Amino acid sequence: MIFGIDIGGTTVKIGAVENGCIIDKYEIPTCKDTLFLDICTFLRKYIKEKEIPEIEGIGFGIPGNVIKNYIYNMPNIGLKNIDLNQEIKKYFPNVEIAAQNDANVAALGEMLYNKEYQNACMITLGTGVGCGIVLDGKVLEGCHGDAGEVGHMGIATEYNFSCTCGLKGCLETVASATGIVRLAKYHYNEYPTQLKETFTAKDVFDLARKNDPLCSFVLDKVGFYIAKCIAMLAVTVDVDVYYIGGGVSKAGDILIQAIEKHYQNLSHYAVKNVKIEAAKLLNDAGMLGAAGLIQRD
């Protein structure tokens, strides 16, 4: 048995995984001061109650920057500089530990679930834009934990909106949930629209589905920039499939179609035939991927 732990800002999802399937799942609240104590206490109780003879490892999806199991920062939780090996080995001295940031772990989960490909990227469109890159079944971490940080590709230079990272023109400034709202506000007076004065990214896509002129325009722009990002990934890591996940991706088919249309015009000839698909796993990708970090013999 392997445990896959998906740490979020408000809850921690804990999955018990056997042979690549989640057989049990739980949620506990995220408490800053007792985060890893709470997780380990839960696991020890579960192991005792279920009389589990041996656990192979514990994998973690971390909402922040982590390199070689050292957590540099979890900004949304307010924790910094945690040596995860040390923290967990207090309670589980002989268990393998592995951790990656949550976008990477979600990508691995999606890949493991779909089973078809060993090389995949998953672009997560949420509050920000993240991406996990899986090569030959393994998550690419990067020398500075920055592999797959495509939200900070400077490809939206047409607008050059300021990004929270300090740069301008990052993909995230136009393709995240807030980015989509920003784009719609920017073009608000140029196209007729049924959007009210305050609206969300979901409202934009819902109205785009009804051919609202402004919202259709914004959807097309978002599709263009994500396609551009995939075209960059395709001449860099060149994987088989690009999954689009995260809250914004719930727009579904209309978003995938907008991306695919532009991708054909933006991509290098050798990589025209990649797959661009909506992610299938929703809440479970983190747990499954976190468990997947443990390298079984």
| Residues of the shown chain interacting with its own copies in the complex, contacts defined by CB under 8 A | 65, 119, 133, 135, 140-150, 152-155, 157, 165-167, 228, 231-240, 266, 268-271, 273-274
Q: How far is the CB of 157 from its own copies (least distance, A)?
A: 8
Q: Give 167 or 256: the residue with its C-beta nearer to its own copies.
A: 167
Q: 129-135 and 138-139 as β-strands: parallel, antiparallel, unpaired?
A: antiparallel
Nearer to its own copies, 105 or 208 (CB): 105
* Strands 65-67, 2-7: pairing kind: unpaired
A 10 A CB-CB count for 93 gives: 7
Min dist. Cβ of residue 270 to its own copies (A): 5
Comparison of 84 and 139: residue with beta carbon closer to its own copies: 139
Nearest distance from C-beta of residue 73 to its own copies, angstroms: 10
The residue (of 195 and 239) whose beta carbon lies closer to its own copies is 239
Q: What residues have CB less than 8 Å from 248, skipping those under 6 apart?
A: 125, 126, 175, 176, 177, 180, 201, 205, 255
Measured from the CB of residue 122, what is the shortest distance to its own copies in angstroms? 14
User: CB 1 → its own copies: shortest distance, Å?
Assistant: 29
Output 152 or 221, the one with its CB closest to its own copies: 152
Contact by Cβ (8 Å): 74, 35: no
* Rounded CA separation 214/49 (Å): 56
Alpha-carbon distance values, 47 to 3, 20, 54, 92, 270 (Å): 11, 18, 9, 12, 50
Residue ranges of the alpha helices (H) in the chain? 35-49, 84-89, 102-114, 172-175, 177-186, 201-209, 213-234, 253-266, 285-292
For its own copies, the closer CB: 238 or 277: 238
CB 72, min distance to its own copies, A: 9
CA distance 19 to 8: 25
Smaller CB separation from its own copies, 122 or 181 = 122
**Would you say 281 and 25 are in contact if contact means Cβ atoms under 8 Å apart?**
no
Shortest CB 193 distance to its own copies, Å = 28
